[in-house]
Amino acid sequence: MRTKIFLTGLFLSLLLPVGCSSVSTLINPPEKQQTAALDDFIYALRWQQYKSAAGFMDREHRKAFLGQFSDQKDLTVTDVRLVETLLSPDGQQAEAVIDIDYYLLPSVSLKTFRLEQTWAYSETEGRFRIITPFPPFP
């Protein structure tokens, strides 16, 4: 009887971690994680919170990203919109297209900048990052 209880306990203890990881993946699937990260990035750009937006960039591209916007004192972003996003079948990578509406003083003409990005899930950080460099902003 004790052996049966021991084996049942052992089986359950081995099954529990597998079950929990499956449950966490169901609760917060990669598509949901990527959508949340993209929404936060868009929010940061819209409100010109470039340091926050840089946190979504891969480490090697952050400095260049911040450098572009630190020189843009006369830049006003009026809107940032997600045009489309495509998640890979394995949920580890996504392609996103974003439109940024802005004007650059002294001009008051509204312009649109189209941004295409690749996002990838980082296993070590447990979240999505932008792995493509930010293109030169007008």
pLDDT tens, residue by residue, 63-120: 999 999 887 789 999 999 999 999 999 999 999 999 999 999 999 899 999 999 999 9
Pick the closest to residue 46 from 85, 79, 92 (CA basis). 79
Per-residue model confidence (pLDDT) at position 124: 85
pLDDT band at 19 (very low <50, low <70, confident <90, very high): very low
Let me know if residue 9 belongs to a domain: no
Q: How many structural domains is the chain composed of?
A: 1
pTM: 0.77
Residue 78 lies in a domain: yes
**Domain assignment present for 15:** no
Q: Indicate whether 58 belongs to any domain.
A: yes
For residue 100, list its beta bridge partners: 80, 113
CATH of the domain at 80: 3.10.450.50
Q: Mean pLDDT of all residues in the chain?
A: 85
Parent domain of 117: 29-130
Helices (H) and strands (E) in the chain, counts: 4, 4
In a domain, 42, yes or no: yes
Confirm if 48 and 77 have CB atoms less than 8 A apart: yes
pLDDT band at 42 (very low <50, low <70, confident <90, very high): very high
Res 27: pLDDT: 65
Residue 4 domain-assigned (yes or no): no
E strands, 1-138, where? 75-87, 93-104, 111-122, 127-130
